[in-house]
Amino acid sequence: MFRISKEFHFSASHQLKDLPAEHQCARLHGHNYIVVVELSGETLNEHGFVRDYAELSPLKHYIDSELDHRHLNEVLGDDGVTAERLAKHFYDWCKARLPETSAVRVSETPKTWAEYRP
């Protein structure tokens, strides 16, 4: 199996409203997110790629235009925008456009990662 990945960055706010009021994530706060999209394939195309990295540019456009410097609760219509749910959101978005999508990882801090891999 061949695997490639590409990393994307954006900054946004969110709030986990279902948590107890004293929990730090219940307050409005923001992160510098890192999203890593992984694509896999058993074979390579005629150019020797799983997929050309340039073909991931629609994801960069989506992130830059719809998510960067926005409040994710409002954009996604969800009061529980966790890293885990973001990973699934990005996976679904990518899988619909890039069938080779095999996993998505999301980081909110330099030491934390959430991954969605079916």
d(Cα 36, Cα 115) in Å, to the nearest integer? 9
94 in catalytic set: no
| Residue 112 main-chain phi, psi, to 5 deg | -130, 140
108 in catalytic set: yes
Instruction: Give me the residues paired with residue 32 across strands.
Output: 11
42 in catalytic set: no
Say which of 14, 38, 89, 108 is annotated catalytic: 108
Say which of 23, 29, 61, 69 is annotated catalytic: 69
* Residue of 34, 39, 49, 42 whose CA lies nearest to 112: 34
Say which of 25, 55, 71, 115 is annotated catalytic: 25
Instruction: Provide the annotated active-site residues.
Output: 25, 69, 108
